Amino acid sequence: MSSWPRDWRELPMAGIINIAGSSLDYKTGTWRARKPVLYPDKCIKCQICWLFCPDMAINRLEDDSVEINYEYCKGCGICAEECPTKAIEMVEEVG
């Protein structure tokens, strides 16, 4: 966003954001205090975590297994709360 103009004359009309998908630039993964850890052996591929994640930070793979995208995961813990087999656990973020 730093490249955006600071003069009202040059600003896009009504602040319209002309670049689609600019939210990808926000790496919200740095916001985490706790992080989800996935235990694939407990996972039954039900997709509940994928459905519930408010940041679309769970990737659904070809074979319906899931993985966590730590670039965007904010660490809210919803996936761990919803997982029926406790295949996700929230642990302290270190480093």
Partner 1 sequence: MSVTDTERMKRVGLNGDEAVAYAAKHANVDVVAAYPITPQTIMVEKISEFVYNGELDAEFIAVESEHSALSAAVGASLAGARVFTATASQGLALMYEILYIASAMRTPIVMALGNRAFSAPINIHCSHDDAYAVRDTGWLQFFAENVQEAYDLVLMAFKISESPEVLTPSIVNLDGFILTHCIEPLYIWNERYIQEFLPDRKPVEAIDYRNPKTYGPLALMDYYMLIKRQQYEVVRRARATIDRVFDEYSRWSGRRYRAIKTYMMDDAEYAFVVLGSTAGTMRSMVDKWRGMGRKVGLVSLTLYRPFPEDDLRRILSGVEAIGVMDRSHTYGGPGAQLYQEIASTLYSLDEHPRLLNIIYGLGGKDFGPEDAEAAYKYLMRPDVREVWLGVEG
At residue 74, φ and ψ (nearest 5 deg) are -90, -5
Rg (CA), the chain: 17
Interacting partner of 1 out of partner 1, ligand SF4, none (Cβ under 5 to 8 A depending on kind)? partner 1
Q: Of the two residues 4 and 39, which places its CB atom closer to ligand SF4 in the complex?
A: 39
* 94 touches, from ligand SF4, partner 1, none (C-beta below 5 to 8 Å by class): none
Handedness of CA 72, 75, 77, 80 (dihedral sign): positive
Q: Which one-letter DSSP state was computed for residue 21?
A: T
Q: Which is nearer to partner 1, 6 or 86 (by Cβ)?
A: 6
Q: Applying CB under 6 A, which of residues 1, 20, 45, 93 lies at the interface with ligand SF4?
A: 45
